[in-house]
Structure 1
Amino acid sequence: MSPIVAVIAPGMMGSAVAKRLTSCGAEVRTMLSGRSAATIARARSAGMVDATSAQIADADFILSIVPPGQAVALAESLAPALRSATRKPIYVDCNAINPATVRTIDSIVRETGAIFVDGGIIGPPPEPDSTKTRIYLSGPDALKVTVLEQYGLSMPVQAGPIGAASAMKMSYAGITKGFTALGATMMLAATRAGTADALVAEMKVSQPALLKWLTTQMPKMPSKAYRWVAEMEEIAGFVGADQTGAGFYESAARLFDRVAEDFGGQNTKTAALDAFCEKAK
């Protein structure tokens, strides 16, 4: 019998994960109350069906895929339904949160009698027949979730306890998104100083691979920046407040917050980043 999977929420990543599952025969439920028309259309296109909290709790698996700042609140909101469910699901937190936050959610979920598995997504929203996106799993019940590999997902098990998969995600995102923050900071600084042309010319000679990576990734960043604010804060917590480097990620959070505000407003920072990337072509 095909599994019933609840995926919350039907954003770009959640709906793409859901589409992989439904295309391979799984039933996917979600919650659409209060969602925009665009989100509802995206969910329906992915084959997701609207469900109540009770119907979500009655699924075999719940995949939490929300912005990092909403992860704890989602677990708390579903706790009453999970507590009332006669057949307990496996709750997989797939969000970009640090291990300490994961353990908080673990406590919330396990108090209801449901099973908790730590997860961390690395890669873009999955496309058909693509293996570029992996959902790392950890914890004593992680192997139980790998049955979903039969339904289109790539789910390697990370050795270690609850928190190990999220540590993997934090480490990876700390490098890739942290590097994006560093690149954006210097692109903007060079633009303000009037040296953007010279910087691009030098990097074409001495750092062509680095320049290509930055100018490929940077145009994708502004529309996602609002989601990366809480993620940088989670990475700062993962590094540790008393450890060198935590301040860098706190600054990265402030940068992404300003880029997000600019993207929805004056568009000056976004335009400057786009112009820098155009120079590199």
Structure 2
Amino acid sequence: MGAAVAACAMSAGARVLWCPAGRSAATIERAQQTGLELVAELFELLERAEVVLSLCPPAAAEDVAREVAEHRFTGVYVEGNAISPSRVKRIADLVGRSARAVVDGSVIGSPPVGGKHAKLFLSGPSGATTLVAGLFSGTAVSTPVLGEEIGQASALKVSYTAYQKASRVLAALSYGLAQHHGVDRALLDVASKRPGSYLVETDYITKTAARAWRWAPEMEEAAETLRAAGLPDEVLRAVADTLRRWNAARDDAALSVDDALGLLRGSA
């Protein structure tokens, strides 16, 4: 997602910098293929950048913000990860000690490549959100502004992801149960009569398994947001626990549906 969003900013005329320190080989390859401008040291990148957009696994969001804050970044910091509003506010308090402004952001949609589009929802100070929106003008990344309150964009993301990702897990469990009893074909026939049912998308079971290492922390963030709103969080805690059964399938593009269901049963 990060490289695809960066490519959109470049297409709109922005200079996009990146730092390879601590990045994986896959991340480095994507940055090079996208044509991002390499800056060897993070402190130099932060001195040159007007805007920093943080897009990383949820568990790393505060570590990234803390590192940026330690270098006393003075530009606009966009916290664009799938984390709870309370964590975004902590990050805003931390980075905001030196930054000109902090913007709450959330990306919803597929990576904006090959004709696909994504939305980068924004909330925060109007001048800062206008600046960020301008970076993607006319690109496959649209930038709706929700308001000026830090936490609004992240609340939208966790509200959406709570349903979208939990539904994928429930579909996998339902299909696995039907398969165990030899009625999976009948289940798919019933589900096919209902337009848009995730149950008929059995190929997505493997995609869910491969992404589970990222999705489980998102479900914990969504559960914490539910708890803070006075709503039951047990369902999403259970979804996160289920996703963790797929940890061994991390980014495995060759995984079969049977292998994915075997991991859920603990038999793979």
Q: TM-score, normalised by structure 1?
A: 0.82
Q: What residue is the counterpart of 1:5 in the other structure?
A: none
* Match status 1:167 vs 2:183: no
Higher mean C-alpha deviation, range 179-188 or range 68-77: 179-188
* Match status 1:158 vs 2:107: no
Structure 1 residues 176, 211: CA separation in 2 closer, same or farther (over 3 Å shift)? closer
Which residue, out of 235, 253, 256, partners 2:243? 256
Shift of 1:182: 1.4
Q: What residue is the counterpart of 2:91 in the other structure?
A: 105
Shift of 1:41: 1.6
Identity level (%): 33
Q: TM-score, normalised by structure 2?
A: 0.85
Which residue, out of 164, 186, 192, partners 1:204? 192
Equivalent-residue separation in structure 1 for 2:104 and 2:200 (angstroms): 30
Shift of 1:268: 7.4
* Match status 1:120 vs 2:106: yes
Count of aligned pairs: 256
User: Over the residues paired in the alignment, what is the CA RMSD in angstroms?
Assistant: 2.6
2:188 touches 2:200 (CA, 8 Å); kept in 1? no
Equivalent-residue separation in structure 2 for 1:120 and 1:264 (angstroms): 22
**Structure 1 runs not aligned, ≥5 long:** 1-12, 275-281
**Displaced runs of 4+ in structure 1, greater than 6 A?**
none
Structure 1 residues 192, 243: CA separation in 2 closer, same or farther (over 3 Å shift)? farther
2:110 touches 2:118 (CA, 8 Å); kept in 1? yes
Which residue, out of 52, 68, 77, partners 1:91? 77
1:259 touches 1:270 (CA, 8 Å); kept in 2? no
* Match status 1:62 vs 2:52: yes
Shift of 1:60: 1.0
Q: Deviations for 1:52-108, whole angstroms, at most 9, x for unmatched residues?
A: 222232201100000001001110111121x2x5xx210001100010010010011
Equivalent-residue separation in structure 2 for 1:144 and 1:201 (angstroms): 50
* Match status 1:180 vs 2:168: yes
Q: What residue is the counterpart of 2:265 in the other structure?
A: none
Shift of 1:40: 1.4
Equivalent-residue separation in structure 1 for 2:182 and 2:260 (angstroms): 12
Equivalent-residue separation in structure 2 for 1:208 and 1:92 (angstroms): 37
Equivalent-residue separation in structure 1 for 2:198 and 2:222 (angstroms): 25
What is the one-letter code of the residue matched to 1:186?
S
Local SS of the residue matching 1:168: helix
Equivalent-residue separation in structure 2 for 1:236 and 1:212 (angstroms): 24
Shift of 1:17: 0.8
Equivalent-residue separation in structure 2 for 1:128 and 1:208 (angstroms): 25
1:102 touches 1:162 (CA, 8 Å); kept in 2? yes
Equivalent-residue separation in structure 2 for 1:23 and 1:191 (angstroms): 47
Shift of 1:112: 2.2
What is the one-letter code of the residue matched to 1:136?
F
Equivalent-residue separation in structure 1 for 2:228 and 2:134 (angstroms): 38
Which residue, out of 139, 142, 146, partners 2:129? 142
Shift of 1:116: 0.4
**Structure 2 runs not aligned, ≥5 long:** 263-268
Q: Deviations for 1:11-69, whole angstroms, at most 9, x for unmatched residues?
A: xx101111112233221111212333332121111111232222232201100000001
Structure 1 residues 211, 249: CA separation in 2 closer, same or farther (over 3 Å shift)? closer
